[in-house]
Amino acid sequence: MPEERAIEVGVTEWARDSVAMQAVRRAVFIAEQGIPEADEWDEADHAATHVLARLNRDPVGTGRLEATGKIGRLAVLKAARGLGIGGSILTRLIEIAQRRGLGEVYLNAQVTALDFYGARGFVAVGPEFDEAGIRHRRMRLAFSAEQRPGSPPHGSTHGAGIR
């Protein structure tokens, strides 16, 4: 009989779960990908909304959403990849942005992850660029009016042209 896996993906704050999120990000970005530690931590961590994924209660993935709609620091431990955890984290971050009434979300995707984000509706914009020694590309996902709470009814011109 296959091992049962209990996956939980919840919203949290830096002050509450920073140790767990730092452990995941340190393993993925610093140890695995070689990103300098000084480039990994920033002030956005304190203000962002975070999502933490647990597998059998152990932290295995994380991501954050900034007030601007920027999704970042999405990471899943190597041993937990292929279980849909990254997609679940991304989905939760998108849902949070939609509930906040944001018109879109965006991220700086590592070029090796373009297909992952593209399969979830993100569109690449602009040229590739270097970020922390890794090739990236900006991607965005625009929400329709129906995907935002409190949006005017379909066909309404209320607020047209205002962003």
pLDDT digits 0-9 by tens, 97-130:
999 999 999 999 999 999 999 999 999 999 999 9
Q: Name residue, tokens 């991607």.
A: 139
> Using an 8 Å Cβ cutoff, are 86 and 54 in contact?
no
Pairing status of strand 49-55 against strand 70-76: unpaired
Whole-number pLDDT of residue 141: 98
Give the pLDDT band of residue 70 (cuts 50, 70, 90).
very high
Which residues lie across from 64 on neighbouring strands?
Answer: 50, 72
pLDDT reported for residue 77:
98
- Looking at residues 87-106, what average pLDDT do you find? 97
Helix ranges restricted to H, 68-155: 85-99, 114-118
Look at residue 61 and tell me whether its pLDDT is greater than 60. Answer: yes
Determine the 3-state secondary structure of 140 from DSSP.
strand
Residue range 145-153: average pLDDT? 55
CATH superfamily of 7-147: Gcn5-related N-acetyltransferase (GNAT) (3.40.630.30)
Q: Confidence class of residue 154 from pLDDT cuts 50, 70 and 90?
A: very low
Q: What integer best gives the mean pLDDT of the chain?
A: 89
Q: Is the dihedral of CA 109, 112, 114, 119 positive or negative?
A: negative
Contact 119, 91 (CB under 8 A): no
Identify the residue whose tokens are 């955890």: 85
